[in-house]
Amino acid sequence: MKLAIMKNKTLKYYILGGIIALGILYIILAIHIPAVKMRIFFFALWLFGEIYLWISILNSFKSRGKKKMSFPILLILYWLPAFIIATTMGVLATKGIHEVNKTIYLTVVGICIMQYLIKFLLFIIVLLYDGMAFLIRSLHKKADIKKGRRILLRTLLGFYVVTLILMFYGTIWGAYDFKVREINIVSEKIREEFKIVLISDLHLAVWRDQAPLEKAVQLINEQQPDVIFITGDLVQFSSEEFIEYMPLLSQLKAHRGIYSVLGNHDYGRYARFSTDSARKEDVFKLVLYQTLLGWKVLNNESVRLYEDTVPLGITIAGVEYYSPKKMFVNEGDITKTFLHVDSSDFVVFLSHDPQAWDEVIRRNLPANLTLSGHTHGMQLGIYSNRVMFSPVSILYKQWGGLYEKQGKRLYVNVGLGSVGFPARVGMPPEITVIRLTP
């Protein structure tokens, strides 16, 4: 079957179908995952890019000879991810997020999102090329741009295949290739060496099985830390995810305790609850489960460490989820968190979102070291001792590693688990070892 040039009438059908699909998707998200319903605008942009790229491929790869891919095969391969997402959303609509297998759901949706991110990049490149081609044709009406466009699209399709292979590698191996990063911090407030292990963003529903997390627990315990800090997003949707992993997480050991704070995913805002009271009860359960393991969840409060009755000169302050962007989750109260902090101590401030550090700097709060997570380094980029790059730097000024300003430090852990898409490419899951020395 020959590939015909798209006509305006056909384009209208694509746009109409896209609008209907977006409307259905919005309803499903509003009912079952209300916190992300406004992301429909991003989905609309993605869908526009999907249609534009599809039409570009049809126009540039219309049959010119005998050895051409048939239209049905091209159609199926191109739109298969959209069909998979539609099927997954259909299952979600009938069962709800609490009843589906969350690991399978997140893996399927995540892999589809990966290819859509790649496709969207290709769409931007094609759109820029078409913009330049329009200007060239305006100046030189006889200019032949079709051949260049075909070459560009075939090159981009090759790039698409390579990046998909990298993403599948990141899904199968990269997501569990744990990296132990070590840093030293010197302070005159520290009396003797003190070792911290920092982890963040476990997103327990995303783990395919317990074996990788067992490896992570072993690596953490091998460090023999004085304390373990967990800076939020233990779960993806609800507290029930935590129950399965409690026996394994109970094996975490630290001489002076394990302290955690809540992240945006820990408040049940990404799942549907019958009432807001039920959601708050779920948050209470997550805090209770951690308490049963002997962990201390810091909710806008601080704790001073002691050796018997002698203070060690170290205070830990922990804020509930706080973001200056005033998201749908913003339970943090920084003023309350620092209310009883002794500024003569070395103060470690735990905040899921690193943007809370801006408040520390602006208000000159007595936080010598702020520890955060949240960014994941977008699970994509380059993170080495010499080169650090991630697209997430567009959204966050401090997205990974150690920062210093006005004598205060911030360390951002790029996460132990995954979110959005269950893969990591160039941004391995992190276990941070921080040595405080006098």
Confidence of residue 59 (pLDDT cuts 50, 70, 90): confident
The residue ranking higher by pLDDT, 11 or 305, is: 305
The CA distances from residue 14 to 10, 42, 112, 238, 394, in Å, are: 7, 18, 20, 37, 32
Residue 430 token pair: 């992190």
Torsion of CA 34, 35, 36, 39, to 10 degrees: 110
Looking up tokens 């709060």 gives: 365
**Which residues are CB-neighbours of 68 under 8 A, at least 6 positions away?**
3, 61
Q: What is the mean pLDDT of the chain?
A: 88
CATH topology of domain 179-437: Purple Acid Phosphatase; chain A, domain 2 (3.60.21)
pLDDT in tens, 294-346: 999 999 999 999 988 889 999 999 999 998 876 667 889 999 999 999 999 99
Longest dimension (CA), the chain: 87
Q: How confident is the model at residue 143 (pLDDT cuts 50, 70, 90)?
A: low
pTM, whole model, 2 decimals? 0.84
Instruction: Give the pLDDT score at 34.
Output: 80
Residue 7 pLDDT level (bands cut at 50, 70, 90): very low
pLDDT one-digit tens code per residue, 150-209: 788 878 878 888 887 887 778 778 889 999 999 999 999 999 999 999 999 999 998 988
Is pLDDT larger for residue 352 or for residue 22?
352
Domain with CATH 3.60.21.10 in the chain: 179-437
> Mean pLDDT throughout 19-24?
86
